[in-house]
Structure 1
Amino acid sequence: MTAPDPTDLFRIVYRSRSALPGDAEAVRQAVSALVAASRCRNAQAGVTGALLFAAPHVVQALEGPAAAVEATFDRICCDLRHVDIEVVECGPVLELAFGEGALSHVVPDAADGAMLARPENGIEPADAAAAAMKLMLTLLQLAETGRVAPSRPAA
């Protein structure tokens, strides 16, 4: 993937709820297949980011050229494998938070995953976005040091 144009960097962070059918193993396999296909599409489009999946919750950050990120998100919004899509951050950024890999994928432990539930106490979207980004970045850093199990290709 070529280096992104630093004057056209854009990020969308959203959360949703998985609508994947089946038992835990079927869902795990479906998510693995989805991540593999997304890595190929994202690499071709110049989109990077991270996907955090803690059944049934999903948080994903997409970064890259504005048009490519928006087209990717439009396709995601039409995907019936998840529901209740809520954008928690959307706008231009100065740098990529997740590097230049097509898609990092982390499956947190149950305690981390519980933080992805939609808050009922009126947390502002900006606070939710900051918390989601911090959790994804922390889990990816822990994965790189071997302290959590990522589903991420070696660099």
Structure 2
Amino acid sequence: MTPSDNADLFRLVYRSRSAIAGDAEAVQQTIDAVVAASQRHNVQAGITGTLMFTGLFFVQALEGPTAAVEAIFDRICCDLRHTGLEVIECGPVLEPGFGNGAMTYVVPDAVAGALLDRMGVEVELADAAAAAMKLMAVLVRTGPCANEPVQNFAA
């Protein structure tokens, strides 16, 4: 994005609980399909994004023009593959914080994923959301993407 593109830069980050049924392979196939569809839709809408899936929770960040982010989020809200959708952050921002790809998919390693899943039920939403966003931002800046678990991440 160029500086003039940032004049209407809007970020929306949400967390939801997975409702995808099936064994690990079926779940991964569904996630792969979601990422592929998101990449196509986001490119068309001029949106960048990052999706993190812990096995129990999704955390997704969308950044781009306000109207485009809101339209994509409206569609996301109707998706039956997740429940309990909670907005973590929503509003204008000065610069992108979650990469510049149409949809980056990050996978926390088993320890970080388990920690995030446990936080989802043991701590307040604000604390869990802040931890999830921090992890996702770190993974986007430093880590492998597209199904490669991030190793040695300490919260």
Give the TM-score of the pair, scaled to structure 1: 0.84
Moved over 4 A (4+): none
Query: What code does the residue aligned with 1:52 have?
Result: M
Are residues 1:65 and 2:65 paired?
A: yes
Q: Give CA deviations for 1:21-49 in whole Å, capped at 9, x if unaligned.
A: 11011000110011011101001001111
Are residues 1:151 and 2:140 paired?
A: no
Q: Which residue of 2 aligns with 1:146?
A: none
Q: Give CA deviations for 1:62-107 in whole Å, capped at 9, x if unaligned.
A: 1100000011111000000000100011111001112321010011
Are residues 1:11 and 2:11 paired?
A: yes
- 2-structure distance, mates of 1:47, 1:110: 29
Are residues 1:110 and 2:110 paired?
A: yes
Cα–Cα, structure 1 residues 106 and 99, in superposed 2: closer, same or farther, change >3 Å?
closer
- 1-structure distance, mates of 2:70, 2:43: 15
Identity of aligned residues (%): 60
Give the TM-score of the pair, scaled to structure 2: 0.84
- 1-structure distance, mates of 2:123, 2:145: 31
Please give the secondary structure, in 1, of the residue aligned with 2:40: helix
User: What's the offset of the Cα at 1:114?
Assistant: 2.1
Q: Which residue of 1 aligns with 2:122?
A: 120
Give yes or no for contact 1:88–1:128 (8 Å, CA) kept in 2. no
Q: Which residue of 1 aligns with 2:45?
A: 45
Q: Please report the RMSD computed on the Cα atoms of aligned residues, expressed in angstroms.
A: 1.8
Q: Which residue of 1 aligns with 2:153?
A: none
User: What's the offset of the Cα at 1:121?
Assistant: 3.3
Higher helix share: 2
User: What's the offset of the Cα at 1:133?
Assistant: 2.2
* Structure 1: tracts of 5 or more residues without a match: 144-148
- 2-structure distance, mates of 1:121, 1:113: 15
Please give the secondary structure, in 2, of the residue aligned with 1:133: helix
Cα–Cα, structure 1 residues 38 and 21, in superposed 2: closer, same or farther, change >3 Å?
same
Pairing of 1:69-88 with structure 2 (within 5 A): 69-88=69-88
User: What's the offset of the Cα at 1:128?
Assistant: 4.0
- 2-structure distance, mates of 1:85, 1:116: 16
